[in-house]
Structure 1
């Protein structure tokens, strides 16, 4: 068993080396992309198979081994080949030369899987792909053992989008056949160098964006305050490249003394009206907050106070409007009667043993009176004069005046 495995290993190494040499010596052109596999690594699904017994298989394995060391039948190869390797046809036995065979039989060997087995390109085929005009290799999914693979794809020429009339180098060199012209590089676009066919002795080199007072798109990163925006300049340079300029940031609503929608929503919360008020240079919809005043919320402003005074009412503060304006209201002031007191008219009802005297002043400024029992005449009254208390009644008479007349005997 050990001897058999050693033979398989030696054959595998030889098989891989011989296949690599063959592949390098016969690099396929692009036409191989439609038929990437040759007879040497043809998928086993197309290989010849025989429904044989175990004894017959062992005999056939011996025939293969005798013809080429390390080879075997397909079924034996599939059963013993490691998962990271594949079974490939190595040689074919002619039935006419072997009495044991009723028809021709293919022998197989176990070799390492290559990219071509799964329709991709190995390193050698990648080199040939990159050498073809208008084609380039791109990474493809690697093999399970990590071996890198590639695909061969036609180059997508997008240079025209950046510089009208330009193309990739391979196309430019194929088309620029005039001996008086050369393929000159204009720049790189999306990772590919772009070229244009121009005269060799051009007396005046084409003006670039920098010559025209602008910048290229690649230089937009240099734009900063107060001109942070990189915008198309509206023209191309003489190579066909679009030019750009650093521009100031368009003004918003707040920059022109107006408010945006979010700020105006606060206006509504405070009871104001949010009205559209044009558009800012940056396209933002602007608004104006129309604050509601006292009149808008059913109250009066300070102008009502003059009417209040005329009606002998008091003008008192009644809160503020959403705009911050002070609001007022007229408050009816209570007179003596409103306060449960009596005015001067009560004096006519006072009895002979009573005297009409001042009691207090009402809210509206009216003086209130009440009938009081006359005190015993002592002191000033006994002498026919007025006391301090009596003098208050005298003061109520506009035609009278209370003056000092000395002191009574009791002081």
Structure 2
């Protein structure tokens, strides 16, 4: 079965922007949305900066019951899913039994779980907790599968509904899985994407413990510095992006606007270390080669690379090596950038947020910049599009992700035509 899969709807909530148009405006302007944490007092922590979404649930149309029932990450996903469905123009024409959901998240409802733990334990002072203080929503918070279920209820999806959790590649893997459901004939439409809301004390403390996040607290707007020689860790973020995936022929038949085709996807694991990466980038390079093979494209076809670009020293060097290993000399001719320089690293959500950036780069025929890149690491010697966006032919995009556990994912997107 040769069913091609295209993106016909986009919904995104990212730091510094609400909606796809505002998101692209921020990226193309090279603006950073990183700031000192406002959700709680960050002064006890090593890293005190983050990229927060200015999300107002009532203004987004969520009812008081929905707000009480759903974790912040779920709220973000539901709002983005509704946006994506509206953007696609599908309306009520889709058969619910042929509509699926594929949602990714790294840490699920951790915001609500931490909040409720603090209530039940009197901020950690009590070892024994009284169940009479237990919120009725606690079960929902503890079961990650409730998140895609909420999305399914919001978009009337009665087909396959799945939760993907593979750390920081979850947002790409969920879209890859959604495309596979359509290719194999299990669904005609899949609402796919990812969400995470990890800006909580426990998450900040966890990344502090392994020194993965930056401590450039005095200059939050310049704290995320992928590929720069002065980088010293990533900026934690939150956000969500959801897409409507459809079978190409059906999308054309109804005259849908086609943003892009999901031409190829592959993932690998290094089976090496929970957080460490081999310097040669072999596993990511293998995922890139496999994704290109599935897309039936040569390395020279790639017009732009959306890098994982977390801003940690080992990651940026690892994927630089992977691009050279997989694309050869073409890697030196291809613009590369990291939008994490502007919107931070939203863990499981970022892969989908970056797919949204890639889709919009193709729509606008421009490459978003790597903000805060002023003094490149000599070992990161590719064209990382520093500081300012660049007009450029963008018909084929390679986007990659790397996650704790050794996960490496790659996706090839090609420009959509109506």
Q: Please state which band the TM-score falls in when normalised by the shorter chain.
A: under 0.3
Q: TM-score, normalised by structure 2?
A: 0.16
**The structure with more radius of gyration:** 1
Structure number with greater CO (CA < 8 Å, separation at least 6) is 2
The structure in which a higher percent of residues are strand is 1
